[in-house]
Structure 1
Amino acid sequence: MSVALLALALALAAPGAQAAGKKAVAKKTVTSSQVKRAPAKAATHKAGPKRKAQASLAQRRTRAATRRAHVVAAPAVLSVGQKMGLHATADPLALASSVALVLDQDTHEVLLSKNDEAVLPIASLTKLMTGLLISEAQLPMDTPITITQADVDTEKGSRSRLAVGTTLTRGELLHLALMSSENRAAHALGRTYPGGLAGFVRRMNAKAAQLGMHDTHYVEPTGLSSQNRSSARDLARLVGVAYDDALLRELTTSPRYEVEVGSRTLQYNNTNRLVKSPVWDIGLQKTGYISEAGRCLVMQAEIAGRKLIMVFLDSAGKFSRLADAERVRSWLQASPRHGGHKVANSFATNG
């Protein structure tokens, strides 16, 4: 028996048995540590959605930054005046308009001129001739006219609040065309003129010739086409004639206007904010813009006791044409009997 007990003791002390014992202890230790770390794992699991959201936001920002880095800016479209180099012409008032003309309406004295013979696109200044012809024709202003697909602009893709099928009176369309420069309204007026649109355009050019506007040519009644062209001198003639029409004076200087379209009331505002200014006395005005023409403005206004006609073409900057008008007003108020200033033209031809 004593020998057997001794053999058993020796077997338990063998290296294999010791290793097995160590493994058992180790296994127990790992299991214990796992239990101790379990709360920490649970905490990590709770924070997971927040970390995922932060990672997702970071990824979106990275993707957005990558897209911006690959976006190529569209090249700026130069106006015809810029292509002709007219903006290089300096003037005493540092005007943003490359073409300007200011003259006394009564005496025809030129107070300021800058490239006034240049022939440029005139954008929605075209609508002043459109309005003059509609008014002179003495067509019934209460006649209903419906906007059709033919009135939708396909050249510039311009927007309009007058959907196809909208019916307004001729007088309402004329008001919108002259005050807020509504293109579909102007086109519908020309389309429904006696003789149709083609006849109306012929009448526009005939009227221009009658007024001595030899630099002027029209191809449509809205001004969206860059082929509608004129010079500051011609436009000054047109403003003088249009000013004699009481209806045009009223509609072009109206600050706002509402029309009923079905169950809706649409409110329109004047494209020239100077008509609402108490420091201005404006008798007639019209604005215009397409990329080829730049920002344009014609006005009849009284400044320092003088009735003036002002023309600004191809102005660079959204509000620069109005700022140019303000510069002229301040200049004339400081020197009301100014003798005028002629700026030499900087171009070789009227093209």
Structure 2
Amino acid sequence: MRIACALALALLCCATAQAGASKFVGLGGNPGLRSASALILDAEGNIIYGKDTETVRSIASITKLMTAMVVLDAGLDLDESITITREDRDTVRLTGSRLDYGATLSRREMIMLAVMSSENRAAAALGRTFPGGMDAFVAAMNAKAKSLGMVHSRFADPAGLRTENLSTASDLARMVAAADDYPLITEAGTTQRLEVRPYTRRGPLTYGNTNRLLKNEKWDIALSKTGYINEAGRCLVMKANIEGEELSIVLLNSFGKLTPFGDSNRLRKWLLAGT
């Protein structure tokens, strides 16, 4: 009787383990991704595919996920108005912005624009208006990274314009998992279009999401952020549901504006072909 019970328990444990295992783990072949670093994890953190996951690289605007988390962790008033000033201009790469000096939006709207549309001045304003100013904000970014176990990461500014914003695919997977716990960040990362009114005497501005995969009906995306500077190449991180499974996707340093999206589609095709 004891033997029968033990056998039944063993079979039950085996069945439970199999039921919880990702159908994508252990796939053969290669998805042929062109990104220099790539990491795909299942919901339990198991590696489905990894390529050069520990190389430290510039991460460009992927940085803005950390920016949003630090602001939200501080419990600042999301309805408080923030006005763009000359301090928020990009003096590193001299990029432009549709938010002119004097443009005023709520802190919530600034987070939305920073994440969904990678608005650099919005991100800079979030750091500038942090208690203690920009230095305190960058220190908080690095403290947050340390708390998440991102041991190979460093943050230097809230917009990701400086080359010194550094991380690895493995560390960014930790950051994506953490960002997924913030409803405003997931909303921002999946909102396709947003209309804002930063000026009292002008019409509204309409912003679009930088992740074109959100327009693709084949993709079910729960969180996303793109990034680009010359030193970082094209970058993309996502949480996406594929065939009923939630996957974390990190793609770093690819060349060509559309390569991260092409890699994402190649990845999806590889996953589906192996099941």
RMSD: 1.0
Residue 244 of structure 1 deviates from its aligned partner by 1.4
Contact 1:98–1:114 under 8 Å retained in 2 = yes
Show CA shifts across 1:47-73 (max 9, x none): xxxxxxxxxxxxxxxxxxxxxxxxxxx
Contact 1:215–1:231 under 8 Å retained in 2 = yes
SS state at 1:209 partner = helix
Once residues 34 and 256 of structure 2 are traced to their aligned partners in structure 1, the CA distance between those partners, rounded to angstroms, is 8
- 1:282 paired with 2:195, answer no
Following superposition of structure 1 onto structure 2, how do residues 93-132 of structure 1 map, counting pairs within 5 Å?
A: 93-105=31-43, 107-132=44-69
Q: Which residue of 2 aligns with 1:324?
A: 263
Residue 251 of structure 1 deviates from its aligned partner by 1.1
Structure 1 or 2, whichever has the larger Rg, is 1
SS state at 1:218 partner = coil
Q: Which runs of 5+ in 1 are unaligned?
A: 1-90, 337-351
- 1:271 paired with 2:210, answer yes
Counterpart among 154, 174, 188 of residue 91 in structure 2: 154
In structure 2, what residue type is equivalent to 1:96? Answer: R
- 1:214 paired with 2:144, answer no
Residue 95 of structure 1 deviates from its aligned partner by 1.4
Q: Percent identity?
A: 50
Show CA shifts across 1:74-124 (max 9, x none): xxxxxxxxxxxxxxxxx922212011000102x211011000000000000
In structure 1, what residue type is equivalent to 2:80? Answer: T
Once residues 274 and 174 of structure 2 are traced to their aligned partners in structure 1, the CA distance between those partners, rounded to angstroms, is 25
Once residues 93 and 332 of structure 1 are traced to their aligned partners in structure 2, the CA distance between those partners, rounded to angstroms, is 8
SS state at 2:41 partner = strand
Contact 1:208–1:216 under 8 Å retained in 2 = yes
Contact 1:101–1:311 under 8 Å retained in 2 = yes
Q: Which residue of 2 aligns with 1:183?
A: 120
Once residues 335 and 243 of structure 1 are traced to their aligned partners in structure 2, the CA distance between those partners, rounded to angstroms, is 27
SS state at 1:158 partner = coil
Once residues 280 and 149 of structure 1 are traced to their aligned partners in structure 2, the CA distance between those partners, rounded to angstroms, is 39
In structure 2, what residue type is equivalent to 1:99? Answer: S
Contact 1:300–1:308 under 8 Å retained in 2 = yes
The runs of 4+ residues in structure 1 deviating greater than 3 Å are none
Once residues 177 and 156 of structure 1 are traced to their aligned partners in structure 2, the CA distance between those partners, rounded to angstroms, is 17
Once residues 256 and 138 of structure 1 are traced to their aligned partners in structure 2, the CA distance between those partners, rounded to angstroms, is 26
Residue 329 of structure 1 deviates from its aligned partner by 0.8
- In the comparison of the two structures, how many residue pairs are matched? 245
Contact 1:128–1:242 under 8 Å retained in 2 = yes
Contact 1:153–1:184 under 8 Å retained in 2 = yes
Once residues 93 and 169 of structure 1 are traced to their aligned partners in structure 2, the CA distance between those partners, rounded to angstroms, is 42
Contact 1:304–1:332 under 8 Å retained in 2 = no
Higher helix share: 1
Counterpart among 100, 110, 124 of residue 173 in structure 1: 110
Once residues 197 and 254 of structure 1 are traced to their aligned partners in structure 2, the CA distance between those partners, rounded to angstroms, is 28
Contact 2:30–2:270 under 8 Å retained in 1 = no
SS state at 2:270 partner = helix
